[in-house]
C-alpha cells in the first residue's frame, strides 16, 4: 500500500487537463476544447508530471500518445474526477435540500406530480429536464437529474425503482400501411415486417420482441438512434415499429397511425432515483408521483 501521508497534493484542474489531452491524443485539439492556449496546456501537464514524478505523455509526428505511466494513470484520473464531482454534488444536495431536478423521457408527462410538489413545498426550486431514451441511469448517476420518469428496460444498478403504471404496446405504421385501421393485430401479423434496430441490446430486444416467443429472430430494419429518425423512417414506408401507446406518435405526425398489438408484455413506466439520495424533495416527489401519475396512493 502507498504511504498516503507522502502522496502528492494533486490539482484536479491539472488532472482534467491531462485527461483532455489523453482523450483527444493531441495538445492542439485538447487546448481548443478546454478554451486555453496550447503553450499553457503544455505547461499545466508538465506541472502534473512533476507532481507525480513520471512522464505521462509523449509527442509524436501524428499527435500525442500515452506513456506506460500515462496508461496506468488515465483510468485513475477519470475515477478521481468522477469522485470529486459526486462529492460536490452530494455536498450541494445536503446543503441545499430545497433543489430538485426531475427528468422525463419522450411521451411521458410529469406535470401533475411536479405541480403538487411545488404546492406542497413552495420553498422548493423544482426543475424539469427531458432525458434521452437511453440515458435515465446515466442522468441520475451523473447528477443531471434527481428523479426520472422513464420506460423500462434500462440498467437499474445503484437505483431505487418504483413501478408507476403500464402502457400497452402498439405497432406504429404509416396511414397507408396494409395493417392500418385494424382493430388489433398479433406478432403473427408482423412476422415478416422489418423493425428498426437500436444500438442498445436490451432496449433492442424488448422493443423488437427479439427473439420472438417461438425463438425466431425479429426481421431487421435500419439502425436508428433518435426517435425523430424512427418516425421519418416509418412514415417513408421503410419499416414499422413497436412502441408504447403512451408515445402518441400519431398525434405528433398526422401521416402515422398505431394499431393495438395483442399478446405481448406491456411497456412499464417507472420512477427511478439514486439509492443513496436522502434529499427530502426526492421522497416528496416519489409520493407525489404515486398520487398523481398512477391514479393510486401509496
Query: CA–CA separation, 158 vs 218, rounded Å?
Result: 32
265, HSE (Cβ side, Cα atoms, 13 Å): 13
pTM of structure = 0.67
pLDDT confidence of residue 140: 96
d(CA 166, CA 86): 33
Give per-residue pLDDT as tens, 211-248: 999 999 999 999 998 888 899 999 999 999 999 998 87
Q: What number is the average pLDDT over the span 264-291?
A: 93
For residue 219, count other CB atoms closer than 10 A to its CB.
16
In degrees, rounded to 5, the angle at the alpha carbon of residue 169 between the alpha carbons of residues 164 and 175 is 135
pLDDT over 70 at 298, yes or no: no
Amino acid at each position: 500500500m502507498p504511504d498516503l501521508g507522502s502522496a502528492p497534493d494533486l490539482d484536479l484542474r491539472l488532472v482534467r487537463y491531462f485527461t483532455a489531452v489523453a482523450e483527444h491524443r493531441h495538445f492542439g485539439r485538447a487546448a481548443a476544447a478546454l478554451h486555453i492556449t496550447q503553450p499553457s496546456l503544455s505547461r499545466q501537464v508538465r506541472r502534473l508530471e512533476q507532481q507525480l514524478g513520471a512522464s505521462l505523455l509523449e509527442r509524436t509526428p501524428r499527435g500525442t500518445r500515452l506513456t506506460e505511466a500515462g496508461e496506468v494513470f488515465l483510468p485513475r484520473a477519470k475515477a478521481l474526477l468522477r469522485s470529486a464531482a459526486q462529492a460536490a454534488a452530494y455536498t450541494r444536495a445536503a446543503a441545499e435540500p430545497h433543489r430538485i431536478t426531475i427528468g422525463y423521457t419522450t411521451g411521458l408527462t410529469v406535470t401533475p406530480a411536479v405541480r403538487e410538489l411545488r404546492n406542497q413545498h413552495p420553498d422548493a426550486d423544482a426543475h424539469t429536464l427531458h432525458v434521452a431514451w437511453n440515458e435515465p441511469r446515466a442522468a441520475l448517476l451523473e447528477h443531471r437529474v434527481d428523479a426520472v420518469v422513464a420506460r423500462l428496460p434500462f440498467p437499474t444498478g445503484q437505483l431505487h425503482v418504483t413501478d408507476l403504471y403500464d402502457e400497452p404496446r402498439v405497432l406504429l405504421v404509416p396511414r397507408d400501411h396494409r395493417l392500418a385501421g385494424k382493430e388489433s393485430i398479433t406478432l403473427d401479423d408482423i412476422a415478416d415486417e422489418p423493425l428498426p434496430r437500436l444500438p442498445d441490446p436490451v432496449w433492442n430486444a424488448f422493443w423488437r420482441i427479439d427473439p420472438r416467443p417461438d425463438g425466431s429472430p425479429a426481421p431487421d430494419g435500419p439502425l436508428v438512434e433518435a426517435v425523430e429518425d424512427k418516425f421519418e423512417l416509418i412514415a417513408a414506408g421503410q419499416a414499422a415499429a413497436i412502441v408504447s401507446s403512451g408515445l402518441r406518435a400519431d398525434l405528433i405526425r398526422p401521416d402515422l397511425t398505431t394499431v393495438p398489438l395483442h399478446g405481448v408484455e406491456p411497456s412499464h413506466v417507472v420512477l427511478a432515483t439514486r439509492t443513496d439520495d436522502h434529499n427530502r424533495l426526492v421522497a416528496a416527489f416519489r409520493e407525489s408521483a404515486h398520487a398523481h401519475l398512477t391514479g393510486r396512493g401509496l
